[in-house]
Amino acid sequence: MTDESLTQRQQHERSNEFRSYAVGYVLALVLTLIPFSMVAWSGFSKATLWTTIGGCALVQIIVHFRCFLHVSFSRQKREDLHLILFTVLILAIMVGGTLWIMYSLYMRMIPSMLPW
């Protein structure tokens, strides 16, 4: 499909989508380089590093949802948001349950490792 065969509306949508991808790419790159550079220069405390890495990760998740997956908080896209939140809930239950079971098994194994 060439640009000549596109209508004015289609060209506008295409340029908006390209702009969204370009902004998302630049933001994702910046949000990745900030923690990498802070760790590489290592002149920061551990608390500052962990806070910055966590903050940049959360902001990057929002950037990916908004710019690449086109998930917004409008009424029309509520189904997509509900699907993503349900997926996060299921993953949290699975990870939390796995950690709980592994910790329980670890605590049960400690008495058998003691020499007496």
Q: Tens digit of pLDDT per residue, the chain (116 long)?
A: 555 677 888 888 888 888 989 999 999 999 999 999 999 988 889 999 999 999 999 999 999 988 888 877 677 677 877 888 899 999 999 999 999 999 999 888 887 766 76
- Structure tokens belonging to residue 98: 């796995």
H helix runs in the chain, sequence order: 8-41, 46-63, 78-113
Question: Cα–Cα distance between 116 and 111 in angstroms, integer?
Answer: 9
Nearest to 30 by CA among 2, 79, 5, 63: 63
- Structure tokens belonging to residue 93: 């239950």
Q: Quickly tell me which residue has 């605590």 as its tokens.
A: 107
Predicted structure pTM score: 0.66
